[in-house]
């Protein structure tokens, strides 16, 4: 079973959900939840809403942005970071995408070899 997919601007996009640890202690104090995704240089984020609601909003916002500017490519994978925190946190976006997720994107987007008849 692979990653779930979402439909953005008419294309299926892999959805990579990553849980992030803010490092704040005690963990019981970490009651704020930030759900964020970055595409290009734009960050889409929602605070203290259910993850499925936030992902739906992010997908909708991204779809509108991509339809408004059709020259922007639809990414093959959308990484959504869910972070619980108390006062502050920082997301390492380069570290948010695991090697396994990158392999799955490659498998889904790699050109297929043509077999001669």
What's the total number of domains in the chain?
1
Q: Is residue 89 part of a domain?
A: yes
Q: Is residue 90 part of a domain?
A: yes
63-82 pLDDT, tens per residue?
898 888 888 778 888 999 99
- For the chain, 117 residues long, give each residue's pLDDT as a single digit of tens: 578 999 988 888 999 999 988 888 898 999 999 999 988 888 999 999 999 999 999 999 998 988 888 887 788 889 999 999 999 878 887 777 766 666 776 676 666 666 666
Q: Which helix or strand (DSSP H or E) is residue 82 part of?
A: strand 77-85
Q: Which helix or strand (DSSP H or E) is residue 15 part of?
A: strand 11-21
User: What's the pLDDT score for residue 108?
Assistant: 67
Q: Is residue 23 part of a domain?
A: yes
Output DSSP code: residue 48.
Answer: S
User: What's the pLDDT score for residue 42?
Assistant: 87
Strand duo 77-85 + 11-21: pairing: parallel
Q: Is residue 54 part of a domain?
A: yes
Q: Is residue 117 part of a domain?
A: no
């Amino acid at each position: 079973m692979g990653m779930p997919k979402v439909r953005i601007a008419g294309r299926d996009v892999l959805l990579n959900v990553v849980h992030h640890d803010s490092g704040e202690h005690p963990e019981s104090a970490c009651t704020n939840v930030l759900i964020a995704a970055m595409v290009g240089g734009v960050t889409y984020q929602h605070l203290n809403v259910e993850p499925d609601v936030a992902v739906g909003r992010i997908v909708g916002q991204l779809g509108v942005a991509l339809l408004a500017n059709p020259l922007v490519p639809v990414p093959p994978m959308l990484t959504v970071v869910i972070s619980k925190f108390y006062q502050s946190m920082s997301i390492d976006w380069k570290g948010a995408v695991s090697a396994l997720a990158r392999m799955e994107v490659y498998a889904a987007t790699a050109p297929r070899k043509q077999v001669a008849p």
